[in-house]
Copies of this chain bind each other. A is one copy, B any other.
Amino acid sequence: MAEDMLTQSIQQLKNHKIRVTPQRQIILTYLVTHHNHPSVETIYQDLETQLPNLSLATVYNTLKLFVDLGIVIELQNGDAGTHYDFFGRPHYHVVCENCGKITDVFEPDLSSVEVKAAEISGYLVTGHNMEVYGLCPDCQKALGVTQPSDLKRLNLNLSHSE
Q: Is the interface of A mostly helix, strand, loop or mixed?
A: mixed
Q: Is the CB of B113 within 8 A of A130?
A: yes
> From residue 63 to 80 of chain A, which have CB atoms closer than 8 A to chain B?
67-70, 73, 76
A26 on interface, CB distance cutoff 8 Å: no
Q: How large is the interface on A (under 10, 10 to 19, 20 to 34, 35 or more residues)?
A: 35 or more
A126 and B161 form a contact (CB under 8 A): yes
Alpha-carbon separation in the docked complex, A159 to B73 (Å): 9
- Copies per complex of this chain: 2
Partner of A159 from B70, B122, B124, B145 at Cβ < 8 Å? B70
- Which of A97, A103, A126, A147 has the most CB atoms of chain B within a 10 A radius of its CB? A126
Q: Are A105 and B132 in contact (CB under 8 A)?
A: no
B128 close to A105 (CB less than 8 A): no
Tell whether A110 pairs with B113 under 8 Å between CB atoms, given A124-B135, A126-B135.
yes
Q: Is the CB of B122 within 8 A of A133?
A: no
Of the residues B92, B110, B117, B132, contact of A123 by C-beta under 8 Å? B132
Least distance between A56 CB and chain B CB atoms (Å) = 19
